[in-house]
Structure 1
């Protein structure tokens, strides 16, 4: 596997999704995560598709070294928004062993993420085994709701 880079269309597509979300229109299962930038401290927004697994809410980085994942890791907390609703969350990164069962569940929960991983060359077929093998390569985070 090569070290995939984000496709050129990703940033414009992310901007479009965030604009639609800002209007209060949910975009399917997508949410927007806002965290402070690790260097600038300015809010950084990233659309993503978290999914439920064993009562928790998880997300998987689309490629190794994703900038949003580095910001989320550094911040440890952020705001998860969908349409006009938002909530404060703690952002907990899973270790490789802890991430394996979440990665196995990913293909059945986030078809758009599977298609992205195939186009990026991370996986060939999108099977649970292929995703589990990415433990330690792709960042996996759990979102824990913070009290108001």
Structure 2
């Protein structure tokens, strides 16, 4: 996928994102989903996005299926946010993982979050849902290490 190509979030995905926010606000997290709250780089407004972290050796990572999204740009600018699971909110630093270190992390995503792997395929970020496909596409996938503060 070209870096100038920017897949759109569908109306169905937007609805699903709002439902995730609703469930979390009621203290009912769904599956591996968390909410990530990050300040906008221009507006300063707080934005909330559902994320499905991957955990490797006790460290949590967040991968993004929309590489050119405002979400990624906001995280890069802010470097921090709040990770929410149900009613529990934890302030975190978000450290972008260097390209050379992303492959083993990306490889874990379709195994740990099989339901989320399809969005990467639909957006053209990966060829299929296999760990090998995620590993090959790792340089194009934004990956952030979650560091509790």
Fold equivalence (TM over 0.5): yes
Partner of 1:67: 70
In 2, Cα distance between equivalents of 1:61 and 1:93: 11
TM-score, structure 2 length as denominator?
0.90
Given the alignment, which residue of 126, 129, 144 partners 1:141?
Answer: 144
Say which is worse superposed, 90-99 or 15-24, in terms of deviation: 15-24
Tell me the SS of whatever aligns to 2:24. helix
In 2, Cα distance between equivalents of 1:107 and 1:12: 23
In 2, Cα distance between equivalents of 1:62 and 1:99: 14
* Matching of residue 12 in structure 1 with residue 26 in structure 2: no
Tell me the SS of whatever aligns to 1:136. helix
In 2, Cα distance between equivalents of 1:103 and 1:124: 13
In 2, Cα distance between equivalents of 1:130 and 1:4: 20
In 2, Cα distance between equivalents of 1:135 and 1:57: 16
Structure 1, unmatched stretches of 5+, are: none
Partner of 1:49: 52
Structure 2, unmatched stretches of 5+, are: none
Partner of 2:107: 104
In 2, Cα distance between equivalents of 1:97 and 1:51: 18
Report if aligned partners of 1:34, 1:45 keep a CA contact under 8 Å in 2. yes
What is the aligned residue count? 146
* Runs of 4 or more consecutive aligned structure 1 residues displaced over 2 Å after TM superposition: 1-4, 118-125
Cα separation, partners in 2 of 1:37 and 1:7, compared to 1, 3 Å: closer
* Matching of residue 126 in structure 1 with residue 129 in structure 2: yes
Cα distance, 1:4 vs structure 2: 5.3
TM-score, structure 1 length as denominator?
0.91
Cα distance, 1:78 vs structure 2: 0.7
